[in-house]
A and B are shown apart, each in its own frame.
Chain A
């Protein structure tokens, strides 16, 4: 049972490290937007290179902006 004396402080340490890491992540806005970053890898690279085309699309009157 003496192994407990080593393992218990170790698990405690593990929990504390996990909590510290999580606090860091929360403070750095890692949990603020959970929807959009997931789509990032799916975007085509060209979207970043051609602002003009993108501007034209955002001005598209068929967008869902009401009246």
Chain B
């Protein structure tokens, strides 16, 4: 198990270990193969049994394990070996992944909920005695005592459990917003203060029971929502951890090895293909590269970097390839930045949009206005009932359920989709996806997987088959295009490719470079033959050509197989009323043949990225809602230009950076799933909103006319919140897609 020996390197260890104050080390790892409760237990027992291990926490849905242990007794490689020996191979995660936020949040919520519940029950018993006392055998002083006891028992509820609302309200005020926390805080505090005043005075109504129950029920609804949110978060984490940022490390002999970016150390040489992420801070070693540092500067525009200049981890390489000498590893800032990159999708989990916040703000504003009007109205008619009626309106009309509807439903949908191999990076895209009626697909790499069969290599002008393959592979190795990748992987079995110099990748056309001083071009016929001016027979025009200054050297006939689920996905989308279009840079005849095979009528060949974008714009102008699906760097413009975009997880990072949805494991059918979930979200949100509006419209008049006592208002409002949260959990339960969940 020498694969883990690298982790003995102090720089690497520093990236993943968190040294605790007591001198022990803490690490978070992603483990593969935790499928059953049995395995979880066995793993826990074995790790716990290692010398020096203090704590093991297994988060099964997230496939994460956290271990606190003493490194004097068990080394880091030893610990990882122990994981591997149980059959659950562990991949250490960056130090930043050790976050307690989720468990801290849920512990906190649970404590608040229980304190509120316990003391609300106490207050309720006292209230019961007071109600009876008003009728019968409890004398006046005892009644006074019970009022004081109620005050005392509701203190922990108001001063501990409900503080989460106060801090939320303060945050909302600081952001100049009206939110639900504000109206909840107002209701709780005003009722509590008024009841306290009445207790001190010894006369007047007290509402300690209502206020405690209100807080308890509201916390219960929030707790349910939080659990669902954490579960989706855990599923998303599991998916993200499964695809760590990779780097291609160059060995002294020129060969490349794929390693996790986290394992790079200073002095390593790294090869970066166009469209990939720069995996570590370093110095550029080839002539020029164009990068997009949007992740760092927030501004997306190409920046040119020349030999000897620094490339910063996390930026995207636009034109490549680039050779990098790693300068840093384990530097906190870099790992934090890379963490930000891989957790890009996590932003979406907050699942609230400025638009919905404004909506809630307006709603709260109206509720506050209505409360004031009710109070004023009653002050004119019967001042003694003004307070009670105003409080009832404030509580009954609190738009908690309205505010919870969208986040709760979207959170649930994102979690379900993550489980089914679709990562949503922009939650608002999910709403738009439900309305899509035009889909533009890239062909190569998206709908099809190119492969190079042995018979498909055609040496021209008497060249040797293996030699031409080696030359072509040396060029192909430098690019991330799917055709180039297929070529490079086919050549791998014939030994090491040679090293190409001065390589340039022309997006959508081909690759040029020099091998042992010989200038070579690999790509479409037009591109490869431009320098020599040769003309070639039409039957080779669709092949990939390798040529030098004098003429063609070889032709490669790449065979394209549709992805396994391409047919079913396209059928599913077509049945759903979406117009399908295939646009590809490939030759017209090949595109037409491929489209016919999949039953798509609208197919276009020889399309440059600009042509595709033009096509998309035209569709948008006709009022269609567009979806773009692609995988390569040349698809980035259309992905950015469509209403909703999806990229394959196997595609380049440049494409992924512009996509709203990521389809993992090369599964196109995620699109159909996402579409049906998006529809459900729209339905459930509309239903929940209708419900909360109807509830508010019905309840408010009764409350305003003083017919609803505050305790009933509290129950009604909390139940309606709970109903909305439970309704959100219906997403993903129904429909044909339910079977994988049942199996899980």
Contacts and interface: CB of A to CB of B under 8 A. Distances in A.
B111 A23 contact: yes
Contacts of B87: 51, 54-59
A40 interface: yes
A47 B38 contact: yes
Nearest to A63: B35
A43 interface: yes
B111 A66 contact: no
B107 A4 contact: no
Given A4-B142, A27-B107, A64-B744, A51 B86 contact: yes
Contact of A40 (B32, B41, B119, B142): B41
Interface in B11-56: 32-33, 35, 37-42, 45-46
B743 interface: yes
B2 to A, nearest CB: 19
B421 interface: yes
A67 B664 CA distance: 10
A51 to B, nearest CB: 7
Interface residues of A, number: 35
A57 B368 CA distance: 61
A47 B118 contact: no
Interface string A26-56: 1101011101100110010001100100111
B624 interface: no
Contact of B114 (A12, A22, A40, A57): A22
A48 B44 CA distance: 11
* B-side interface mostly: helix
Given A32-B57, A64-B35, A54 B142 contact: no
Nearest to A55: B87
B303 to A, nearest CB: 37
A10 interface: no
Interface residues of B, number: 40
B37 A58 contact: no
Nearest to A34: B227
* A-side interface mostly: helix
A8 B665 contact: no
B111 A43 contact: no
B208 to A, nearest CB: 15
Given A18-B118, A47-B42, A54-B39, A33 B111 contact: no
Contacts of B743: 64
A22 to B, nearest CB: 5
B111 A58 contact: no
B115 interface: yes
A11 B142 contact: no
A51 B85 contact: yes
Contacts of A51: 42, 46, 85-87
Contacts of B58: 33
A26 B42 contact: no
Contacts of B33: 58-59, 63, 65
Given A15-B119, A59-B87, A48 B45 contact: yes
Contacts of A22: 111, 114
Contacts of B114: 19, 22
Nearest to A57: B87
A1 interface: yes
Given A19-B115, A64-B744, A65-B33, A43 B60 contact: no
15 contacts: A1-B139, A15-B118, A36-B40, A39-B37, A40-B37, A43-B37, A51-B46, A51-B85, A51-B86, A58-B39, A58-B87, A63-B33, A64-B744, A65-B32, A67-B665
Given A58-B39, A58-B87, 14 more contacts: A1-B142, A15-B118, A15-B119, A32-B103, A36-B40, A39-B37, A43-B37, A51-B42, A59-B33, A64-B743, A65-B32, A65-B33, A66-B421, A67-B666
Interface of A: 1, 4, 8, 11-12, 15, 18-19, 22-23, 26-27, 29, 31-33, 35-36, 39-40, 43, 47-48, 51, 54-59, 63-67
A-B pairs, 5 with minimum CB distance: A55-B87, A58-B87, A39-B37, A36-B37, A58-B33
